[in-house]
Amino acid sequence: MKMRKKEEFQKKIQAHVEHFEQNGRFFQQHNYPHHKHVSVHEHVRHVAYTALKIAHSLKVKVDEDKLIRAALLHDYYLYDWHDDEAWHKFHGFKHPRFACDNAHRDFGLCEREQDAILKHMFPLTIKPPKHREGWLITLADKICAFKECWIKNWSYETTR
């Protein structure tokens, strides 16, 4: 991908990150570990970038703002799921609902964004995403989780 397009994607993502940090609890995600050494904050930015990159590479028509918003908020559950608490059991199945409820309360979500967040764990969620944005986030989330867990010292920062 051309450097100009990469910078364009990063600028679009950063604009949404800044809005979310100024108007909600998005900044708290720095405090929550996600996969190994990667915070939730870093993970969701990586998912947004990867989803945009896939859409662009495959020429998939999407609403980029909705794609970025849903990608950045798909793990907006606001707790450390590694803590040994009973309600954290089955996190993989339950966190999409927590994330969607928190995001809708703090920022308001359209149906397309809600669907993408609620179904990003497909096939665990059983029901697949209805829209392209949801499918792209689901795929990007799997790719990013793999990189974060299996590529030593990988981070979103190294892709910048």
- pTM (two decimals): 0.89
Among the listed residues 119, 127, 147, 131, the one whose alpha carbon sits nearest the alpha carbon of residue 49: 147
Q: Position 1: which residue type?
A: M
Q: What pLDDT score does 157 carry?
A: 54
Q: Over 90: is that where the pLDDT of 37 sits?
A: no
pLDDT per position as a tens digit, 40-87: 899 999 999 999 999 999 999 999 999 999 999 999 987 765 556 655
Percent of the chain with pLDDT over 70: 81
135-38-45-32 Cα dihedral, nearest 10 degrees: 100
Q: Domains of the chain: which residue ranges?
A: 3-159
Percent of the chain with pLDDT over 90: 62
pLDDT per position as a tens digit, 129-148: 999 999 999 999 999 999 88
Q: How far apart are CA 81 and CA 123, in angstroms?
A: 20
Ranking 3-7, 11-15, 83-87 by mean pLDDT, the lowest is 83-87
Q: How far is CA 2 from the centre of its chain?
A: 23
- Fold observed for domain 3-159: Hypothetical protein af1432 (1.10.3210)
Q: What pLDDT score does 158 carry?
A: 47
